[in-house]
A and B are shown apart, each in its own frame.
Chain A
Amino acid sequence: EIVMTQSPSTLSVSPGERATLSCRASQSVSNNLAWYQQKPGQAPRLLIYGASTRATGIPARFSGSGSGTGFTLTISSLQSEDFAVYSCQQYNDWPQTFGQGTKVEIK
């Protein structure tokens, strides 16, 4: 199965700053890559699919890029509600697999 590796494990960022998260696949997943946001006690939320398409209702400060094996999620100006865990997922091959997550915390 395809292994998804995220870096860094933890990212400390000040409110208003940019956050850049990385996700790497062990083999090409084309652009079949999604990003999810997780907060304690809440349902995971789909942010990005197709590597760069924002899901319905997702603010424009979230953007995704990349294809093949390397992907990036950028949050252009962190708001208080954006401090959370972000996970990438490939859905190109079965079984779909997830990265271990990047925690974005307040600096």
Chain B
Amino acid sequence: DVQLVESGGGLVKPGGSLRVSCAASGFTFSPYVMNWVRQAPGQGLEWVASISGSSTYIYYADSVKGRFTISRDNAKNSLYLQMNSLRAEDTALYYCARESELAGLFDFWGQGTPVTVSS
């Protein structure tokens, strides 16, 4: 079965940094585009970033561009999100999501890891 397990979330002060991870299993990781999607408390889902299988193509939402970096290690079946210059509005549950063969459609998700930005 496909499994995506996020980790690394926590409490961080404004301006701080945090790296969250996603461990993938149950499928061949390297060919798939992978994404981070977040959900702030009481809000809808928001796509954050995506990375192609070979890391050639990387895209970010305008809200995080220049502050967040998505990366992957296909040998470790892992996805990462490095978050710098964190703001209160980055507080959210961060999900790892696999993109299907249909671009932009997310067929499997993890349970999420919470990130709280507060002083």
Question: Do A and B share a complex?
Answer: yes
What is A's interface to B at a CB cutoff of 8 Å?
32, 34, 36, 41-46, 49-50, 55, 87, 89, 91-92, 94-101
Taking each of B95, B97, B105, which has the highest tally of chain A beta carbons within 10 Å of its own beta carbon?
A: B105
Specify the chain A residue showing the minimal Cβ separation from B4: A43
CB distance from B111 to the nearest CB of A (A): 5
| Contact with A46, one of B43, B44, B103, B107 (Cβ below 8 angstroms) | B107
A41–B112 CA distance with the chains assembled, in angstroms: 8
A49 and B109 in contact, given A87-B44, A95-B47, A101-B44 (Cβ under 8 angstroms): no
A84–B100 CA distance with the chains assembled, in angstroms: 23
Q: Are B110 and A91 in contact (CB under 8 A)?
A: no
Q: Are A96 and B47 in contact (CB under 8 A)?
A: yes
Residues of chain B with a CB closer than 8 A to A34's CB: 105-106
Residues of chain A with a CB closer than 8 A to B61's CB: 95
A88–B23 CA distance with the chains assembled, in angstroms: 26
CB distance from A88 to the nearest CB of B (A): 10
